[in-house]
Amino acid sequence: MEFSEHIKTSYVDNVVLSRPFRPPVKGTLCVTSHHLLLSSRQEREQDADLDPDEKDGDTLELLLLLKGIDAVEKRSTGSYGTITIKCKDLCIFQLEIPGMTECLNIASSIEALSALDSVTELYPFFYRPETMKIEKKIPEGSSEEFFGQIAHQADKWRLSSVNKDFSVCPTYPEAVIVPKQTSDEMLMAAAKFRQGGRFPVLSYYHKTTGKVIMRSSQPLVGAQKKRCQEDEELLGEVLNNSERGFIVDTRSAQLAQQARITGGGFESKSNYHNWKRLHRNMERGKNLQESLIKLVDACNDQTHNMDRWLSKLENSKWLSHVQSTLSTACLVAECVEREGCPVLVHGSDGTDTTLLVTSLAQLVLDPECRTLIGFQTLICREWIQAGHPFQQRCTHLALSHARLRNEAPIFLLFLDCCWQLHHQFPLAFQFSETLLIQLAQEAYFSNFGTFLCDTEKDRHAFQVKEKTFSFWDWMNNPAVLKTFTNPLYQRNELVIWPSVWPHSLHLWQGNHLKMGGVVINGLEFSPDEKKLAAARGHAGYKF
């Protein structure tokens, strides 16, 4: 490995670490291929009551995955260099390093090693915890597994392996659930008519009404108003006789119209009988990323012109994105539950807002998704396997000055919406807020391979499942699971309709205000932090 090429200075003594709300600590700073460490040595002999771990005098003050660093800023003050490190979990701290050369070397190492390009160079491929084993098993939340659960009821559906070897759609898993009457040939034809080959597949089967949520990408209608008979038939198969269905397009009607210029488009009424289109304008891509940047900016503003806090929060528009996401998800849930109609959801690519909507609708509708296991499988099925491009979307969070490429906090928005539901229905979820906060971090940097890569195809190619540990395996260890469990949980069989009025939506303080070190809301309920930190092993660090 050529990691060592990036490390010109591997350690520096007498580095001072300054963190908010903590006294500065002096110690030895060390850069390894994947970590940044700082350990301090203190005279502590007189203090006999200390933990045995700390008695030997070395205290690990900081242990941080380099991948977790969003931005590095360097500044020189005389013979000292100061590095400000901004992390993807919104924490910020400073290192004061004696010697300019050392400072610059350390900074450039961090910059290089925190932005490794190749997946197999990332830490999950090196992480080898003693207590865990890599188990090669069917991933939780696979289509096969889900179909197994619904097969006895969903007799109009079948499991298709048309995408074996990812040949039809590179961003789908190998197995997909499709209408029984649809042949694999039809699917292949329909795939050609959908962006990225994402033909309509089953996302969720609602047992109480027997209705489904499907998802796809946009049809490639284009300026010439092309049609595809197989695609029309496929959707036709979903409807009984004269039944109505809804297509929820996550773009505004105008945007969908514009998409035709670049070859995309929408399902026209005349070609897709009995399907009614509903447009919802959801923010995506760059705008969403900018909204997060503004939000983080407002949350981190230490200069406090605090009387402007609420306007800043409003101007970030983050909460209105939360609102529109939740209401679109509720719209889908309403179609399925109240109207008793099947729904197809798509935007353009079908890998971002589409998944946001389908997964949240399931959380609203289905008590199973609100259990610990159900939530895991939901994320596996609707995010990881469904091909949300985690690697592209989660390269940087919001503190980096690097030019934005494909970053977008879609998954973070999903977690925020989950938190809003959790906040409004504090008993309905088996998992706790802590899990949501942990996931917000895992998606950006992790010891585990779970959120690596953009697609199942890539994960196969890099043998992610064979060579890395799974976050879910770690999480399901009873000692860890306890910290992610909501002690007040009471299974609620009903649909949970959230209020989306502005005064019902709150800033997710537990995650967004972590940075100042003053997470206060719910502090007293939070699980034993020491234990959690120990269970986290080397993944995180605590202020």
Interface size with another protein, residues (CB under 8 A): 46
- Is residue 307 within the footprint of another protein (CB under 8 A)? yes
Based on the shown chain and the rule CB under 8 A, indicate whether residue 313 belongs to the binding site for another protein. Answer: yes
Backbone angles phi, psi at 349, to 5 degrees: -80, -25
In single-letter form, the type of residue at position 518 comes to: V
- Segment contacting another protein (CB under 8 A): 11-19, 461-469, 501-509, 534-542? 501-509
The smaller minimum CB distance to another protein, of residues 3 and 489, is found at 489
> Facing residues of 206 across strands?
211
SS3 assignment for 134-170 = CCCCCCCCCHHHHHHHHCCCCCCEEEECCCHHHCCCC
Give me the DSSP letters along 294-328: HHHHHHH--S--GGGHHHHHHHH-HHHHHHHHHHH
* Cβ distance to another protein smaller for residue 294 or 460: 294
Q: Give min distance, CB of 306 to another protein, in A.
A: 5
- Which residue has tokens 């979307």? 393
Q: CA-based diameter of the chain, in Å? A: 85
Span of 266-274, 280-288, 312-320, 380-388 interacting with another protein by CB under 8 A: 312-320
Q: How far apart are CA 182 and CA 471, in angstroms?
A: 36
Given the complex with another protein, which of 386 and 515 has the nearer CB atom? 515
352 binds another protein (CB under 8 A): no
Q: CB of 337: closest distance to another protein in angstroms?
A: 10
261 binds another protein (CB under 8 A): no
Three-state SS string over 165-228 comes to HHCCCCCCCCCEEEECCCCHHHHHHHHHCEHHHCCCEEEEEECCCCEEEEECCCECCCCCCCCC
| Dist. CA 66–CA 138, nearest whole Å | 31
| 304 contributes a contact to another protein by CB under 8 A | yes
Quote the tokens at residue 391: 């690697």
d(CA 13, CA 106): 12
Nearest approach, Cβ of residue 335 and another protein (Å):
12
The verdict on 502 binding another protein (CB under 8 A) reads yes
DSSP 408-455: --HHHHHHHHHHHHHHHSTTS-SB-HHHHHHHHHHTTS-SSSTT-SSS
Q: Taking CB under 8 A as the rule, does residue 496 contact another protein?
A: yes
Residues 402-431, one symbol each (x = binds another protein by CB under 8 A, - = not), give ---------------------xxxxxx---
Only segment of 137-145, 169-177, 339-347, 514-522 that touches another protein (CB under 8 A): 514-522
- As measured in angstroms, the least distance from the Cβ of 87 to another protein is 19
Q: Is 314 in the site for another protein (CB under 8 A)?
A: yes
Residue 202 to residue 192: CA distance in whole angstroms: 18
Do the Cβ atoms of 200 and 234 come closer than 8 Å?
yes
| Tokens, residue 322 | 């939360």
Beta carbon nearer to another protein, 347 or 498: 498
Please pick, from the candidates 1, 48, 138, 306, the single residue that binds another protein as defined by CB under 8 A: 306
Q: How far is the CB of 433 from another protein (least distance, A)?
A: 13
Cβ–Cβ < 8 Å for 91, 542: no
- Counting contacts by CB under 8 A, is residue 191 touching another protein? no
Shortest distance in whole angstroms from residue 478 CB to another protein: 18
Residue 330 interacting with another protein (CB under 8 A): yes
- Interface stretch with another protein, choices 105-113, 212-220, 469-477, 490-498 (CB under 8 A): 490-498
Contact with another protein (CB under 8 A) among 498, 514, 535, 540: 498
For residue 33, state whether it binds another protein (rule: CB under 8 A): no
Task: Name the minimum Å distance from CB 528 to another protein.
Answer: 15
279 sits in which H/E element: strand 275-279
- Is residue 449 part of the contact set for another protein (CB under 8 A)? no
CA dist 276 → 204, 240, 332, 348, 357 (Å): 19, 15, 13, 18, 18
Q: For another protein, which stretch binds (CB under 8 A), given 105-113, 221-229, 457-465, 493-501?
A: 493-501
Which backbone phi and psi does 166 adopt, to 5 degrees? Answer: 60, 35
| 404 CB-near residues (< 8 Å, 6+ apart) | 286, 289, 396
Query: Rounded to the nearest 5°, which phi and psi values hold at 219?
Result: -75, 145
Query: From the CB of 481, what's the least distance to another protein, in Å?
Result: 18
Q: How far is the CB of 163 from another protein (least distance, A)?
A: 36
| 303 scored as a contact of another protein (CB under 8 A) | no
472 near another protein (CB under 8 A): no
CB closer to another protein, 461 vs 520: 520
**What is the DSSP code string of 14-46?**
EEEEE-TTS--EEEEEEE-SSEEEEEEE---TT
Q: By C-beta, is 24 or 502 nearer to another protein?
A: 502
Nearer to another protein, 259 or 515 (CB): 515
Interacting residue ranges for another protein, rule: CB under 8 A = 299, 304, 306-311, 313-314, 319, 327, 330, 334, 423-428, 487-488, 490, 492-504, 506-507, 509, 513, 518, 520-522, 524-525
